Amino acid sequence: MKLIASLTSPYVRKIRVLLLEKGIPFEFVNDPPWEPGNHVSDFNPLGKVPALVTSSGEVFFDSPIIADYLETLGVYAPALPADALAALRVKQLEALADGITDAGVIWVLEVRRTAEKRDTSVMERQHGKVSCGLVALEKHLAGKDWLIGDAFSRADIAAGCCLLWLDFRLPQLDWRTEHPALAAYAERLSERPSFAQTVPVL
Ligand SMILES: N[C@@H](CCC(=O)N[C@@H](CS)C(=O)NCC(=O)O)C(=O)O
């Protein structure tokens, strides 16, 4: 199994964490999609990472689909509940965490434009999505150890990758001051070996 990937993508990190949590061996192919001459579109026509090439050569993208595929392998520990509705609730929170990351990515890309090209209304709109998303995540956590029930799930993997990516790319946001419960949760997640082994590298 091969993961077409980059060392900084929060979506790639979700899959790396999941593979490590499940103990599934894989080849990490570092092919950043922003680098000229990359081969990502050979695997994903959208030119985005992650893409997973299975041992039979089938390709899956994007990260929630890859995560669903990994669940079909039936490897312990499951990151999704067996019950379909309970699984949907986990995926709903995964979508929330991924959505915060999506808004953060648009915001970062806007920040990187030159001052005369930068559209502050785009930055404000995405900032709003990140802020509302964080409030919603904290509400779901509600003082518990994990987002859903009493078990670590894909929702926690997505939330951890999102929160730790905000630290990495948007340190000016300082979300930890406003969300101490989420900050403590992110700290706990970052101590898991799967997270410790996948810290973004520039
Ligand atoms: N929804 C996708 C998002 C993937 C994504 O946007 N990946 C970024 C890296 S962080 C990418 O490859 N961007 C390249 C591009 O947009 O051209 C997923 O969950 O896999």
| Residue 12 CA to ligand 1 centre (angstroms) | 8
Please check whether residues 60 and 145 belong to one and the same domain.
no
Decide the pairing of beta strands 27-30 and 2-5. Answer: parallel
Q: Is the CB of 71 under 6 A from ligand 1?
A: no
Our answer on whether the CB atom of 147 is closer than 6 Å to any ligand 1 atom is: no
84-108 confidence digits (pLDDT tens): 999 999 999 999 999 999 999 999 9
In a domain, 79, yes or no: no
- Domain termination site, one of 38, 72, 106: 72
Cβ–Cβ under 8 Å, residues 110 and 122: yes
Which of 14, 39, 72 delimits the end of a domain? 72
Q: What is the pLDDT of residue 76?
A: 80
CATH number, domain containing residue 20: 3.40.30.10
Ligand 1 centroid from CA 165, angstroms: 14
Does the pLDDT at position 23 exceed 90?
A: yes
Pick from 14, 47, 72: which residue ends a domain? 72
Return phi, psi of residue 53, to 5°. Answer: -105, 120
> What phi and psi, each to the nearest 5 degrees, are found at residue 91?
-65, -30
Per-residue pLDDT for 52 more than 80? yes
In a domain, 34, yes or no: yes
Asked if residue 48 is part of any domain, the answer here is yes
Residue 196's contacts (CB-CB under 8 Å, 6 or more residues apart) are: 190
Tokens 């990351």 — which residue?
101
Give the tens place of pLDDT for each residue, 114-169: 999 999 999 999 999 999 999 999 999 998 999 998 899 999 999 999 999 999 99
- Same domain for 169 and 93, yes or no, is yes
Output the 3-class SS for the chain: CEEEECCCCHHHHHHHHHHHHHCCCCEEEECCCCCCCCCHHHCCCCCCCCEEECCCCCEECCHHHHHHHHHHCCCCCCCCCCCHHHHHHHHHHHHHHHHHHHHHHHHHHHHCCCCCCCCHHHHHHHHHHHHHHHHHHHHHHCCCCCCCCCCCCHHHHHHHHHHHHHHHHCHHHCHHHHCHHHHHHHHHHHCCHHHHCCCCCC
131 lies in the same domain as 180: yes
Q: Please tell me the predicted confidence (pLDDT) of residue 78.
A: 76
Query: Is 13's pLDDT higher than 90?
Result: yes
Segments forming the whole domain that contains residue 68: 2-72
The answer to whether residue 66 sits within a structural domain is yes
- Residue 16: name the closest of 3, 1, 34 by CA: 3
Are 45 and 60 in contact by the 8 Å Cβ rule? The answer is no
Whether residue 199 is contained in a domain is answered as no
Compute CA distances 9 → 32, 41, 129, 144, whole Å.
9, 16, 20, 27
- Domains: count for the chain: 2
| Alpha-carbon distances, residue 114 vs 109, 119, 168 (angstroms) | 10, 10, 21
Mutational test site, ligand 1, from 3, 7, 11, 29, max ligand atoms within 8 Å of CB: 11
* Residue 77 counted as domain residue: no
Q: How far apart are CA 103 and CA 115, in angstroms?
A: 20
